Amino acid sequence: MARFQAPKGVSEYVPARSTYFDYVRGTIIESARVAGYQLMELPIFEDTELFSRGVGESTDVVQKEMYTFEDRGGRSITLRPEGTAGVMRAVIEHNLDRGQLPVKVYYSGAFFRAERPQAGRFRQFYQVGIEAIGLADPRIDVEVIAVADRAFKELGLTKYRLEITSLGDALTRQNYLVELRKYIATIPLDAETAARAELNPLRLFDDKREEVRSMMQSAPVLMDYLTGESTEDFRRVQELLNLLGINFVINNRMVRGLDYYTGTAFEFVHSDLGAQSGIGGGGRYDGLMAQLGGQELSGIGFGLGVDRILMACEAEGISLPEGFGLDLFIVPLGTGDAALKIAENLRERGIHVDLAFGDKALKGGMKSADRSGATYSIVIGADELDSGIVALKEMKTGESTSVTLSALAQELIERISNFGEHS
């Protein structure tokens, strides 16, 4: 019978790579949690209009990339292409904006964009994102950036750079767009591109075609139109990034693919990933909440692409830290019940344990131990049960130490250097 295959362009993770994925995603989430961000678990589908209004009609995401369908009740539903609009919807719906500000949340899950699949570009992909809503202060801009930067450093990534820009406030953009429109009126564009430019002239900076790119080279740059206040905010962001020792470069031609951005905007770019080098991006969004029917509250956040960050870790040759996977593999020799009981006792103490099932001979059992990737192994036969002493073998070196069964848990806890972090 014909076998099924996953739909084209989706990313999926199965063992053993899924453990690595879990580690990468967990590290990002932990970086958000240590900074006080709390989980927001939201639906994967929403009203289509939430995205067309929130993300913006002129964007590729809304124009070409949404998975939109009618549900059985005739409502137009869209699989979430990004997380920020949904978070705003939930903040408004649950009146979180009426409580203590800023509201600081993180989310993690699958997102959907009907893009042309290629290396690092998927139709279903994974993001961890954070949003800090209700405070317009460069300090929180930098806190948000620092959450991402800490996660990358924690993972051991080095070949990435942070690019920042300011998209200014409403007045900045009003002044700038007048000049940009004037410039665009002087260049020849086909009807479709002209219509896009009409909706949002900034989108032309995003155009991948060489002729459009070269024409936009001499277009006016938004950074030159920043108001006094926006200039000061941007200066403060840079000052604070320096204070925290976070390296950055200014990219005054950055165009984010979503329409809601204002003020600080940023992207993290990895140098080993080829065309899909953006491992994360975000920025401030002044008007989004009001646009979705809420109060006039500003916010800032990011979305990090977990799939690409995983690829970046692999490209940099970063291996899974010891202690993230299994700590111990038990090989029972005719002692299955006792071994299961020992495994359970160790698991209760937070030690990651697996064991061989079935009546495997010593050789087969040791093969399983090898394959499990566990840091240590023990063999438990009748002798070990009688004497209460096992040989704790370190798999990497082959070195064995005699340990009593009653002291085994303590011995392992002491040996696992980052114990606690992984449990």
- Give contact residues for ligand HAM (rule: CB under 6 A): 82-84, 113, 115, 121-122, 125, 127, 129, 131, 257-258, 278-283, 301-303, 305, 307-308
CA torsion through residues 168, 144, 138, 252, sign: negative
Cross-strand partners of 103? 133
Closer to ligand HAM by Cβ: residue 279 or 339: 279
Closer to ligand HAM by Cβ: residue 163 or 354: 163
CA 321 vs. chain centroid, Å, equals: 19
Tell which residue, 108, 277, 250, 245, has the closest CA to residue 167.
Answer: 250
CB of 18 to ligand HAM, least distance (A): 17
Closer to ligand HAM by Cβ: residue 23 or 376: 23
Is 155:27 a contact under the CB 8 Å cutoff? yes
CB of 9 to ligand HAM, least distance (A): 8
C-beta nearest to ligand HAM: residue: 305
CA distance 198 to 203: 10
Cross-strand partners of 69? 77
Closer to ligand HAM by Cβ: residue 96 or 413: 96
E strand or H helix that includes residue 311: helix 306-315
Q: Tell the burial category of 337 from Cβ atoms under 10 Å away from its Cβ (0-12, 13-18, 19+).
A: exposed
Closer to ligand HAM by Cβ: residue 127 or 335: 127
CB of 122 to ligand HAM, least distance (A): 4
CB of 209 to ligand HAM, least distance (A): 20
CB of 359 to ligand HAM, least distance (A): 46
CB of 279 to ligand HAM, least distance (A): 5
Angle, nearest 10°, between helix axes 17-33 and 306-315? 110
CB of 55 to ligand HAM, least distance (A): 8
Residue the block writes with tokens 């079935």: 358
Closer to ligand HAM by Cβ: residue 28 or 403: 28
Closer to ligand HAM by Cβ: residue 91 or 184: 91
Tell which residue, 326, 321, 320, 319, has the closest CA to residue 376.
Answer: 326
Residue 303's alpha-carbon distances to 35, 111, 145, 308, in angstroms, are 16, 11, 11, 12
